[in-house]
Amino acid sequence: MKKNIAHAVPRRASAEAGYTIIELIITMGITTAIMGATLGALSGVMRSNDMVVRITSMNNGLRGGMDLIIRDLLQAGAGLPKGHVISTPSGGGVLIKRPGPPGTAYTNAAGPSIAAVIPGYGLGPTINGSATDIITILTADNNFVEVGLTAVTSTTVDVVASVNIATGVDRVIPGQLMMVLKGSTTTLVQVTAVNTGSRRLTFGSDSLSLNQSAVGVVGNLATLNAQAPTGAAAPAATRITRVRMISYYLDNTTTPGRPRLVRRINNGHETIPGAGAPAFDNTLGTAVALDIENLRFTYDLTDGATNPGGVRFIAADLTTGGACAPGACFLTQIRKVNVLLTARSENAKNAANAQSRAYRNTLNSQVALRGMALVNEYQ
C-alpha cells in the first residue's frame, strides 16, 4: 500500500510579492507630474529673474542718461554774456559745423551769433517710425573764466603769466572752445595750437569752422580786435573764457539695433598740445546709455505775452505762423526744457528662450535753465 506524501509548498508572504505593473504605472505617473510641476516652477523663476535683470539694467541706463542730460541743462547759458548768445563768423559763406549722429553733416543756420540752447527737432535717427531730436547747449567752464590777456591778434592770444595753461584745471589743449570778450563784443573760437612757453593760444583752421579770418567775415576775432580800444590798450580790455559745447543725440549706426544715447563735448575729443585740432568727425562722442529708442525735447518760452510752452522749434515756430504767433519764437526766450527719454530692455531672445520679449520704459523731466533765468537777489 502506497502512501501519498504531500510536500508542503511554502507561500511567499504578501510583503515579498513586489509591485504590479499597474502600481508601477501609477507611481511613474505621479512622479512625472511632480517633476513636471517642479521644473515648470523653476522655469518660471528663471524667466522672472531674467525679466528683473533686464528691466533693472534698462532702468539704470535710463536714469543715468536722464541724470546727465538734466545736469548739463541746468548749466546751459551759465557764464555767457547778457542775452546768452556768442557772436560767430558770418558773411564768408562758410557755415559753422554742428555735432550730430553718424552720417549727418548739420550746420548752424547762417547768422551773427550762436545761442546757449540750440534745438534740433527731428534731426536724430528715425527709430520705430519716430524721428528723434538732438540738442546742443553752451556753458562756460567755471575753472577758466575771463582770464586776462597780454596780447591779441586776429588769430592768436597770449594769456597772462598768472594762469598756468600747461597743467591743472587751467590746462588748455587743442580742440577746446574759447569765448573772447571785449566790452559788449564776443566771438567763439576753437584752439588749434598751444605754446605753453609763451602762453600763446592759436586759432587756425579748425574742425567746427569757427576760426574764419578771411576778408569780409564779421563776428570773428579780427572784428572783435578792431573794436575800441585798439592798439596797446586792446589786451587789457580783452578777456577769454573757456566754453563747452555739449550735444545729445541718439546713434543707431555704430551698433545697429541697439541705439545709443551719445553725449558729445565740442567736436568729440581733444588732442595733445602740438598735434593740432582734430578733424570734424560725427562718429565721436561718449555713449552714456544703450538701447535708448526715443529722445524728444520741447521748450517753454518767456516772451512777455503768452509765454508758450511745449514749443518744438519746427520751421513754422521760427516765423510768424508758429507757436509764438503772431510773432516768431526766438532761442533766447527758452527758459525750460522738457525731456522725454524712452529705453527698452536688451532683447534676450534666442533658441533656448523663444518667448523672450523686450520691455520698455519712458522718463519725462522738465528742467528750468538756471543759467538763463532770473536770479533771486535776496538769496
Judge whether 99 and 77 are in contact, CB under 8 Å. no
Q: How many domains would you assign to the chain?
A: 1
Taking the CA atoms of the chain, what radius of gyration do you get in angstroms? 34
- Cα 132 to the chain's mean position, in Å? 13
Q: 109: part of which helix (H) or strand (E)? A: none
Q: How many CB atoms neighbour CB 350 within 10 A? A: 8
The pLDDT of residue 89: 92
Residue with more model confidence, 7 or 149 = 149
In a domain, 37, yes or no: no
The pLDDT of residue 186: 95
Of 231, 233, 212, the C-alpha closest to 222 is 212
In a domain, 6, yes or no: no
Mean predicted confidence (pLDDT) in 298-312: 92
Judge whether 316 and 322 are in contact, CB under 8 Å. yes
In a domain, 195, yes or no: yes
Mean predicted confidence (pLDDT) in 24-35: 82
Among 5-19, 221-235, 302-316, which is the least confidently predicted range?
Answer: 5-19
In a domain, 273, yes or no: yes
In a domain, 122, yes or no: yes
Mean predicted confidence (pLDDT) in 95-113: 89
Average pLDDT, the chain: 87
Grid coordinates standing for 295? Answer: 529722445
Is 270's pLDDT higher than 80?
no
Domain extent at residue 211: 51-372
**φ and ψ of 173, to 5 deg:** -135, 155
Mean predicted confidence (pLDDT) in 176-194: 95
pLDDT band at 216 (very low <50, low <70, confident <90, very high): confident
| Secondary structure (H, E, C), the chain | CCCCCCCCCCCCCHHHCCCCHHHHHHHHHHHHHHHHHHHHHHHHHHHHHHHHHHHHHHHHHHHHHHHHHHHHHHCCCCCCCCCCEEECCECCCCCCECCCCCCCCCECCCCCEEECEEEECCCCCEECCEECCEEEEEEECCCCCCEEEEEECCCEEEECCCCCCCCHHHCCCCCCEEEEEECCEEEEEECCEEECCCCEEECCCCCCCCCCCCCCCECCHHHHHCCCCCHHHCHHHEEEEEEEEEEEEEECCCCCCCCEEEEEECCCCCCCCCCCCCCCCCCCCEEEEECEEEEEEEEEECCCCCCCCCECCCHHHHCCCCCCCCCCCCHHHEEEEEEEEEEECCCCCECCECCCCCCEEEEEEEEECHHHCCCCCCC
pLDDT band at 20 (very low <50, low <70, confident <90, very high): confident
Judge whether 268 and 254 are in contact, CB under 8 Å. no
Is 26's pLDDT higher than 60?
yes
Model pTM score = 0.84
In a domain, 131, yes or no: yes
Residues in the chain: 379
Judge whether 254 and 260 are in contact, CB under 8 Å. yes
Judge whether 138 and 114 are in contact, CB under 8 Å. yes
In a domain, 134, yes or no: yes
In a domain, 4, yes or no: no
Mean predicted confidence (pLDDT) in 295-318: 93
Is 39's pLDDT higher than 80?
no
